[in-house]
Amino acid sequence: MSVSIHPTAIVSGDAKIAENVSIGPFSIIGPNVEIMANCKIGAQVHIDGHTVIGESNTFESFCSIGAPPQDTSYKGEPTRTVIGSGNTFREYVSIHRGTMKDNGITNVGNNSLFMAYVHLGHDVQFGSNCVVANSTNFAGHVKVGDRVIIGGGSQISQFVSIGRGAYIGGATAIDRDIPIFCTAYGNRVKLKGVNIIGMRRQGVDKPMISEVLDFYRTMEASALSPRAFVEHEEHMAEFAGNAIIAEMVAFIRVSEVGIAPFL
């Protein structure tokens, strides 16, 4: 299978383009770009920088991928953008490459849907199988786990972490960490509960889900902060042996910006 490049597209001779890639009208592909098989690049897409794109990704019109970071410390270093396989990037999605402040890589996993006007800032570490609705912005150094769903118009501040399986309502301003399988919304963000539907979809059994819900409610009712709560062994003894709770506790313990407050 051959590569299909529209006559109006500008593709550097140094770019690496695999088989069965299509590149639409007026798109621009830079010299340090590698695009693997079965990708579809729509009209007027700009892919630049040291960027690696895995197989079977779709980029709709006007996406900007691998652009320089919006950070005054960036001095043109050959930092990177790495994108996995099977993602869909709708119109006007923008992803900026990393900076030397972090590991120099903005990384996107596999099989996620990024709706129109989503922005991923420099050094973002993004998981797999996520859905991000329109006009959501991720500032630099944000970390997002797998199977996260984020409603449209949400804004995520720098250095925030969103745990896997979290569900975020639309128009949410996130300036604190969201633990795994939690639901949250609001400006500023507050924790609303646990994502029971998300756990069911991932095959978590009912007894374990019930324990997670009990843990969340106990922590919410406590006068202690989440960090202080999980450090008390007497609070944790009842929930020993639950892998989801153990992961949630580990997330809370390493939070650098703090956990979002309860609703």
Active-site option among 49, 96, 121, 123: 123
SS3 259: strand
Q: What are phi and psi of 182, to 5 degrees?
A: -100, 155
**Cα 260 from Cα 241, distance rounded (Å):** 25
Q: Where are the alpha helices (DSSP H) in the chain?
A: 196-201, 206-221, 226-230, 233-236, 243-254
Contacts of 174 (CB under 8 A, 6+ apart): 154, 155, 156, 157, 160, 162, 168, 184, 188, 189, 260
122 is catalytic: yes
Percent of residues in the chain assigned helix, strand, coil, to nearest 5: 15, 30, 55
Do 132 and 87 meet the contact criterion of CB atoms below 8 Å apart? no
Tokens 């950070």 label which residue? 71
Active-site option among 66, 121, 140, 163: 140
Active-site option among 96, 119, 122, 141: 122
> E strands, 36-174, where?
40-41, 46-47, 50-53, 58-59, 64-67, 80-83, 88-89, 94-96, 105-108, 113-114, 119-120, 125-126, 131-132, 137-138, 143-144, 149-150, 155-156, 161-162, 167-168, 173-174
258 is catalytic: no
User: Which two three-digit tokens encode residue 160?
Assistant: 């925030």
98 is catalytic: no
List residues with catalytic annotation: 122-123, 140
